[in-house]
Chains A and B, each alone.
Chain A
């Protein structure tokens, strides 16, 4: 079973929730925030396996190309350009759809691989840990997320998702069976949470909320969720101790009160999503 941890807004505590819950639930941890993967900082796994993520791009055979320009016309992503002397390829704009190859009557287009990122697998105590890493300068994270999740192991997996509600989050959610939405009691947090809720509802996923950086001043947000009949899985208090431990790259289960908070959330998750 794959449980997605997501948020809409960045920096609300997805990684904190995912790594600490992975320890308690003894679940596999999978970092899908491939633009900024931070989970390994906390779980510190020994990396045992690493593989490249490659995508295809068109290579034009100049001897065969007659500059008809059909490939340029058909490319929806402006990745090909006819200079009059040759067809230029803008690799980073290419989505690897190979439509250009279909329309080329001269058979002048071949496809080659290029690396855009990598996937790592490691072990931290008894936890299996995975992460995708997008190379700096590469715009498209989706192929890295897809390759990472296509190889996800059986059993209970926690997917630490990218922020936002567009293609990156969508590609991770396609592999999810349930979702935990992490938010903070602020106007921004809830504005973006509502977008994330619409997204998981679009996928018909069962979901619940973790309220992070919680203080009683945020009670109106709790009331809102209660009124909307949205399941709250737990509250993580807003304390300086948590912020400091996080800043050092430590997990929080060593702090007894916080360990109890995460254990309660883990129990709720097991009950609500019927996983164990």
Chain B
């Protein structure tokens, strides 16, 4: 069983909720941080490194200056304006290799470029799989697919909780494809609703079972109602509201999952949300 926590809009509380769910299922869950651009899940977990490997998400073109005769054919053929007078721009090159095909001197090669480190850690709570991407690099979709394959190997029949990235593009599609369910964490703002519409549209295209919850629900009760109404119209399960709770900031800054602040309103609400999701998915409730 794979559950992907996503949001559309950034900063709505994906990581807080994904980590809380993992803690509620302690020991029987593999956590996978697919927000590879800005991974935060690992900050909660000090563990033993079980695996570390480098990953290449693509290639870059390399020009051999000694053979290049400045004919300029590579520049003409490049669709990404990534090569000028035989110099390759690191940020523009998408590693397609078109330049290598037209170079009469065979002066250009494609070389795999390291774009990330993949890390698996283990502690008493179970496994965490995440990546540290090189700043400004590409291929996050491929990287996420590899992280998820690894998670399946470690999880066996256990639950996999995926912390997704904001947006609706390549990394989000890679995090959602073939997952069993998506839990969308939104917030009661105009932006939250607008972005919810887009992420729900994507979930529908991918035929993913979708659940929606609202974080900081009391910031704007009216918007929260609108979101509930929207879910009803779209026939999507609305699984609960988390109130605005200062304890969440404390939990992040103390790097202690919210479930350890047992009496906090946010914790109680998240627990209820998770039980609602489990109920819908036919899983047995948490103790």
B167 touches A99 (CB 8 A): no
B8 touches A103 (CB 8 A): no
- B50 an interface residue at 8 Å Cβ cutoff? no
Minimum CB–CB distance for A43 against chain B, Å? 12
A247 touches B166 (CB 8 A): no
B190 touches A249 (CB 8 A): yes
Select the stretch in B132-140, B147-155, B277-285 that faces chain A: B132-140
Tell me the nearest residue of chain A to B138, going by C-beta.
A167
Q: What per-residue 1/0 map shows which CB atoms of A133-174 lie under 8 Å from chain B? A: 010111111000000000000000000001111111110001
A97-B244 Cα distance, complex, nearest whole Å: 47
B195 touches A38 (CB 8 A): yes
- Between A and B, 15 residue pairs with Cβ closer than 8 Å are A9-B38, A10-B11, A12-B11, A36-B166, A38-B9, A41-B191, A95-B96, A99-B98, A137-B202, A139-B141, A163-B10, A192-B38, A192-B40, A247-B187, A247-B220
- A86 an interface residue at 8 Å Cβ cutoff? no
- A216 an interface residue at 8 Å Cβ cutoff? no
A272-B197 Cα distance, complex, nearest whole Å: 39
B37 touches A163 (CB 8 A): yes
**Which residues of chain A are near B94, meaning CB under 8 Å?**
95, 97
A168 touches B169 (CB 8 A): yes
A187 touches B253 (CB 8 A): yes
A165 touches B133 (CB 8 A): yes
A136-B194 Cα distance, complex, nearest whole Å: 12
- A227 an interface residue at 8 Å Cβ cutoff? no
B169 touches A138 (CB 8 A): yes
Minimum CB–CB distance for B95 against chain A, Å? 6
A2-B16 Cα distance, complex, nearest whole Å: 35
- B75 an interface residue at 8 Å Cβ cutoff? no
A247 and B190 in contact, given A76-B97, A174-B91 (Cβ under 8 angstroms): yes
Q: What per-residue 1/0 map shows which CB atoms of B190-208 lie under 8 Å from chain A? A: 1110110010011001000
Across chains A and B, which 4 residue pairs bring their CB atoms closest together, nearest first? Answer: A11-B11, A10-B10, A164-B37, A97-B96
**Which residues of chain B are near A198, meaning CB under 8 Å?**
135
A97 touches B40 (CB 8 A): no
Number of interface residues of B (CB under 8 A): 62
**Which residues of chain B are near A140, meaning CB under 8 Å?**
169-170
B202 touches A166 (CB 8 A): no
B133 touches A166 (CB 8 A): yes
A10 touches B166 (CB 8 A): yes
- A244 an interface residue at 8 Å Cβ cutoff? yes
B173 touches A77 (CB 8 A): no
Interface range, A side: 35 or more
A248-B192 Cα distance, complex, nearest whole Å: 11
B43 touches A187 (CB 8 A): yes
Minimum CB–CB distance for A33 against chain B, Å? 8
Minimum CB–CB distance for A197 against chain B, Å? 9
Minimum CB–CB distance for B115 against chain A, Å? 9
Minimum CB–CB distance for A103 against chain B, Å? 6
A140-B137 Cα distance, complex, nearest whole Å: 14
B135 touches A195 (CB 8 A): yes
Minimum CB–CB distance for A276 against chain B, Å? 29
**Which residues of chain B are near A191, meaning CB under 8 Å?**
38, 40, 43
**Which residues of chain B are near A127, meaning CB under 8 Å?**
none
Minimum CB–CB distance for B265 against chain A, Å? 16
B191 touches A38 (CB 8 A): yes
Other-chain contact of A11, B10, B80, B98, B202 (Cβ < 8 Å): B10
- B267 an interface residue at 8 Å Cβ cutoff? no
Besides A41-B191, A187-B253, 19 new A-B residue pairs in contact (Cβ under 8 A), listed by A number: A35-B168, A36-B167, A36-B191, A36-B195, A98-B98, A102-B102, A139-B141, A163-B37, A163-B167, A165-B37, A166-B37, A167-B137, A167-B138, A168-B169, A186-B253, A191-B40, A247-B190, A247-B220, A248-B190
Tell me the nearest residue of chain B to A56, going by C-beta.
B79
- A234 an interface residue at 8 Å Cβ cutoff? no
A10 touches B38 (CB 8 A): yes
- A96 an interface residue at 8 Å Cβ cutoff? yes
A97 touches B9 (CB 8 A): no
**Which residues of chain A are near B194, meaning CB under 8 Å?**
36, 38, 41
- B269 an interface residue at 8 Å Cβ cutoff? no
A33-B10 Cα distance, complex, nearest whole Å: 11
- Contacting residues of chain A (1-23) with chain B, CB-CB under 8 angstroms: 8-12, 15
**Which residues of chain B are near A99, meaning CB under 8 Å?**
96-98, 101
B97 touches A137 (CB 8 A): no
Tell me the nearest residue of chain B to A171, going by C-beta.
B91
Minimum CB–CB distance for A56 against chain B, Å? 8
A244 and B140 in contact, given A9-B11, A165-B133 (Cβ under 8 angstroms): no
- A188 an interface residue at 8 Å Cβ cutoff? yes
B219 touches A188 (CB 8 A): no
